[in-house]
Amino acid sequence: MIRYEIVSVSADEVLPVRHQVLWPDQPMSFCQVEGDDYAKHFGVKVDGRLVCVVSLYIHDGEARLRKFATLSEFQGRGIGSQMLEALIERVRSADIHYLWLDARESAMSFYGRFGFVAEGERFFKGDIPYFRMSQHFNA
C-alpha cells in the first residue's frame, strides 16, 4: 500500500475534488455544505496535486464524516483507505465517542472494512441510495 501524507486543507480547496468526483453534472456551488466554514478538512496531495478530500464536522462529542472523494485516476491505490484510517485514529484519540456518515449504498462494503455498521433503513438523496453508517468508541 502506498503511503501519502494527509494534510489539513481549506474549505475552498476541497470543492474542486468534491465537484469532479461526486457531482460533476452540478454547478460547483452544489458541492458546498452548510457548516464547511467550521468543519475540519483533510486532503492527500500527490506531486502537489490534491487527489483525495474529506471533511469532518464535530459537535457535542460526535463527528460526522462528509464528502469523501478521491479522483478516479487515484482510486484503487489505497489513498482513501489511508485517509479513513488516519481520520478514525484522530477521532478515537479525541473526546469523540460516535463517528457517522451517510454512505452511498455502492460504498457500504468499503466503510464496513473499517468497522462502520449500517443503521436504519435505506434512504435516497435524489436518486442515489444511501445508508447511515457509524461506529462507537469507548468513553
Show the cell assigned to 93: 484519540
- One-letter amino acid for residue 38 of the chain: Y
Closest CA to 123 of 132, 111, 112: 132
Confidence of residue 1 (pLDDT cuts 50, 70, 90): low
Average pLDDT over the chain, rounded to an integer: 91
Q: What is the pLDDT of residue 2?
A: 59
Cβ–Cβ < 8 Å for 100, 21? no
pLDDT of 124 strictly over 80: yes
Show the cell assigned to 24: 460533476
Which CATH code is given to the segment(s) 6-136?
3.40.630.30
DSSP state of 38: T
User: Domain-by-domain residue ranges, the chain?
Assistant: 6-136
Percent of the chain with pLDDT over 90: 71
